[in-house]
Amino acid sequence: MTWHILGAGSLGTLWAARLARAGVPVRLILRNHERLAAYQAAGGLTLIEGDQASQYAIPAELPQTKAPIQRLLLACKAYDAENAVAELAPRLAEGAELLLLQNGLGSQQAVAQRLPGRRCLFASSTEGAFRQADFQVVFAGNGHTWLGDPENPQAPLWLEELQHAGIAHQWSPDILMRLWRKLALNCAINPLTVLYGCRNGDLREHPAEVATLCAELSELLQRCGQPAAADNLHDEVLRVIVATAANYSSMHQDVAQGRRTEITYLLGYACAAAQRHDLHLPHLHHLQQRLLDHLRERGLPLN
Ligand code: NAD
Ligand code: KPL
Length of the chain (residues): 303
Q: Where are the domains of the chain?
A: 3-173, 177-297
pLDDT, one tens digit per residue, over 215-270 is: 999 999 999 999 999 999 999 999 999 999 999 999 999 999 999 999 999 999 99
Q: In the 8-state DSSP scheme, what is residue 247?
A: S
299: confidence class by pLDDT, cuts 50, 70, 90: very high
* Region for residue 52 given its phi and psi (left: phi exceeds 0; alpha: psi -120 to 50; beta: otherwise): beta
pLDDT, one tens digit per residue, over 17-65 is: 999 999 999 999 999 999 999 999 999 999 999 999 999 999 999 999 9
pTM metric for this prediction: 0.97
Chain-centroid distance of CA 238 in Å reads 22
Report d(CA 242, CA 180) in Å as an integer.
21
Phi, psi for 221 (deg, rounded to 5): -60, -40
β-bridge partners, 273: none
- Whether residue 167 contacts residue 15, with contact meaning beta carbons closer than 8 Å, is answered with yes
Report the top-level CATH class of 177-297: mainly alpha
pLDDT recorded at residue 132: 95
From 18, 27, 77, 182, the catalytic residue: 182
Is 189 close to ligand 2, i.e. is its CB under 6 Å away?
yes
Q: Which residues contact 53 (CB under 8 A, 6 or more apart)?
A: 46, 47, 136
CA of 65 to the centre of ligand 2 (A): 36
Q: In the 8-state DSSP scheme, what is residue 102?
A: -
Report d(CA 188, CA 104) in Å as an integer.
13
* Nearest ligand for residue 259 CA: 1
Average pLDDT of 103-125? 97
Q: 57, 52, 74, 104: which is closest to 4 by C-alpha?
A: 74
> CATH number of the domain at 3-173, please?
3.40.50.720
* Nearest ligand for residue 249 CA: 2
CA of 228 to the centre of ligand 1 (A): 28
CA of 251 to the centre of ligand 2 (A): 8
Closest approach atom of ligand 1 to CA 87: 18
